[in-house]
Structure 1
Amino acid sequence: MACLPAELIDLVVEQISHDMETLRSCALTCLTWNARCRYHIFHTISLNYISIRRFRTMLQSAPDIGIYVKRLVMESWAEVDTLISEHDFPALKSLEYIWSIRPIVKGHYVLCHFPTVTNLSLRSCGSIDICALILAFPYLTHLSLCGERKISYFGGKSSNVTKVNTSLECLSIEKASGDALRRVLEGFDLPCLLKIRLGQIQPGDLNTVRDLLDIRGPQLLEFGIRFSGTWGNDEESCRELVSKCHRLQTLHLDCVGCTRSLSDARETFIIAPLSRLPSTALSQLTVADNHSFSFGLDSFDALDAILCTPRFDRLKLLRIVFYDEEQELFDQWVEFYQEFMPLVHARNIVNPMIPQPSFSFDADAASLS
């Protein structure tokens, strides 16, 4: 077996990479096979307060296995924080941190132990100093923050006059706040930023979102926003939201959480921004607005009229999302869709209709890529 060409061994191991039992058996063949199987066996490791001690013992007997770990999923328990360090996983690229109930500030959390990480995802996180978080990861390209409370900035005002360059390409915040976004704008240059997803945007946050898009909108390839809260007459403010996004290829507009009439919400948060979108490269569009597209014979007229313009000639995927689980209503919705959306039939645009949110803040930040 050891005499087989390395390329052939790699092909065989790749074919069984999703079968953990077979991988473990192949790892016992010889040292050559063992090294190649370890790459897949230890690629992703999940640790909690029970498994951390067992893995710690394994590292003590075979310290070289840590170099194979590329993705680490951790629960925030004291044992996890104290029993592992960056030396255990020198090649770590993706880190997912679950149930971080303590405030996350520089110097106080296990995340600082992993400066090599490029993909970082925090789930169910508490208070976060987002600026310190970004500074702690000099090679960070994908950042996803999910939690039960708004992600906000806390701490003293930064004394830095010069902005810090970052390699951040994708930023996803499930419950964004204007102050956190403002601190990111004030503290960092974002020359590589290509994808942004923001959730729970309320009226007080809109100006900061617009400032962010005014600065970085021309370079964005993907933008997603979920509006929420009580809005007044904000159509003009929302109309200019993506007016600087000349290269945009993917756009998500979700206003399900807004307390406005269905027709007003659709016009303000979906139709108005689309009417001023300058990009002619848009290939994917997702819209969601509390079933408003499923009621009435003219539900699709405004959307259809805009999408028929030459600016949307490259549109290949139109996803209209609804939030009802009743199959009867879903069947009725499909019937309305098929009859009153001529654009889709004329241009053969794919439309997967799904009863779920228009975009999710997935724990895996890499999912944004």
Structure 2
Amino acid sequence: MSEIPPEIIEHIVDELVDDRESLVACLSVSRAFHSRARYHLFQTVQLETNSDFYQFISLCDISPVIPGLVQSLKIFSRRTAVPHLPPLPNVTSLHIGGHLHDEWQTNFPLTTCLTLEELVFPTAQSFRSWICAYPCLTSLSVMSVVIYQLTSVGPYALAQGPPLEFLSIAYVSESLYGVFLGSTSKAISRFALHGIRRIRHTTMFPYDAAGIHEILAVTRETLRELDMKALGTCSTKS
């Protein structure tokens, strides 16, 4: 394979980006094929079972370059204890579902896109502190997220939050709207709404309509795109 120019090899392997089996086969063709195939195989990683975690950790131990290849990571865990992941410094897209673990706040410093799904936060402050752990965050999606206690007391009561440009809200508890709005009479208490340009929202309960109405009121100066959907109806864009 040494006579094939590297750019041709890259082009060949790039054409297989959606064919995982072929990419795995490329690992055994040659060193040149191996490097490009590995790059594509580990750009996106999904971990759900303990077996997934242990297998991925083992691969990272065998090949120390793998942690640096991961750019998109989806973790969905129902367990309160999971194996510790190695630092993944280049993850920019992070999807967390099922259960939270504190180390996931520190392992992904470059995250710009965060999705939180089927999660419970004890207080508004715990939610704000989690979001503030990602200073580069520009996109946030929350789905089926519950916050038990809405309280403005704590170190994050006046936190401005990361510079979000996109916010998606669906199937959340009523208190989540209060997390972003803070005290509606005090603009300084609003969280992560100061630069919003796009909002996607799903209305399921009456409080959803009231909550998004208040968010739209405080983001009207920066908002450029709105995607609204009510269950059982077609979505509307403006």
TM-score by shorter chain over 0.5: yes
Counterpart pick for 1:127 among 84, 96, 121: 121
| 1:156 positional shift | 5.2
Question: What percent identity do the matched residue pairs reach?
Answer: 26
Do the aligned residues in 1 keep the contact of 2:169 with 2:202 (CA within 8 Å)? Answer: yes
CA deviation digits over 1:302-333, x for unaligned, max 9? xxxxxxxxxxxxxxxxxxx4xxxxxxxxxxxx
**In the alignment, is residue 28 of structure 1 matched against residue 33 of structure 2?**
no
Do the aligned residues in 1 keep the contact of 2:150 with 2:178 (CA within 8 Å)? Answer: no
Cα distance change of structure 1 residues 56 and 150 upon mapping to structure 2, 3 Å threshold: closer
Do the aligned residues in 2 keep the contact of 1:153 with 1:183 (CA within 8 Å)? Answer: no
Q: Corresponding residue for 2:153? A: 157
Q: Give the structure-1-normalised TM-score.
A: 0.53
* Structure 1 residue runs without a partner (length 5+): 225-251, 257-287, 289-320, 322-357, 360-369
Counterpart pick for 2:138 among 118, 138, 141: 141
Q: Corresponding residue for 1:95? A: 94
Count of aligned pairs between the two proteins: 223
Do the aligned residues in 2 keep the contact of 1:165 with 1:189 (CA within 8 Å)? Answer: yes
C-alpha distance in 2, partners of 1:206/1:168?
21
C-alpha distance in 1, partners of 2:81/2:192?
36
Q: Corresponding residue for 2:43? A: 43
Amino acid at match of 1:175: Y
* Structure 2 residue runs without a partner (length 5+): 182-188
C-alpha distance in 2, partners of 1:78/1:207?
34
Do the aligned residues in 1 keep the contact of 2:203 with 2:229 (CA within 8 Å)? Answer: no
Q: Corresponding residue for 1:195? A: 198
Do the aligned residues in 2 keep the contact of 1:142 with 1:169 (CA within 8 Å)? Answer: yes
Secondary structure of 1:218 counterpart? coil
Cα distance change of structure 1 residues 66 and 209 upon mapping to structure 2, 3 Å threshold: same
C-alpha distance in 1, partners of 2:89/2:68?
6
Do the aligned residues in 1 keep the contact of 2:201 with 2:229 (CA within 8 Å)? Answer: no
Do the aligned residues in 2 keep the contact of 1:166 with 1:191 (CA within 8 Å)? Answer: no
- Structure index of larger Rg: 1
Q: Corresponding residue for 1:116? A: 110
Do the aligned residues in 2 keep the contact of 1:176 with 1:198 (CA within 8 Å)? Answer: no
Do the aligned residues in 2 keep the contact of 1:17 with 1:40 (CA within 8 Å)? Answer: yes
Q: Give the structure-2-normalised TM-score.
A: 0.78
Q: Corresponding residue for 1:211? A: 214
Please identify which structure carries the higher strand content: 2
C-alpha distance in 2, partners of 1:163/1:110?
21
**In the alignment, is residue 8 of structure 1 matched against residue 1 of structure 2?**
no
C-alpha distance in 1, partners of 2:156/2:103?
25
Amino acid at match of 2:162: T
C-alpha distance in 2, partners of 1:17/1:170?
28
* Structure 1 outlier segments of 4+, above 6 Å: none
Secondary structure of 2:110 counterpart? coil
Please identify which structure carries the higher helix content: 1
Do the aligned residues in 2 keep the contact of 1:167 with 1:191 (CA within 8 Å)? Answer: yes
Counterparts in 2 of 1:276-355, with a 5 A limit?
Answer: 288=233, 321=234
Do the aligned residues in 2 keep the contact of 1:119 with 1:142 (CA within 8 Å)? Answer: yes
C-alpha distance in 2, partners of 1:161/1:130?
11
CA deviation digits over 1:320-356, x for unaligned, max 9? x4xxxxxxxxxxxxxxxxxxxxxxxxxxxxxxxxxxx
Amino acid at match of 2:230: D
**In the alignment, is residue 60 of structure 1 matched against residue 54 of structure 2?**
no
C-alpha distance in 1, partners of 2:118/2:192?
27
| 1:138 positional shift | 1.0
C-alpha distance in 1, partners of 2:157/2:20?
52
| 1:29 positional shift | 3.0
Do the aligned residues in 1 keep the contact of 2:13 with 2:23 (CA within 8 Å)? Answer: yes
Secondary structure of 1:46 counterpart? strand
* RMSD, aligned CA: 2.9
Q: Corresponding residue for 1:325? A: none
Cα distance change of structure 1 residues 33 and 179 upon mapping to structure 2, 3 Å threshold: same
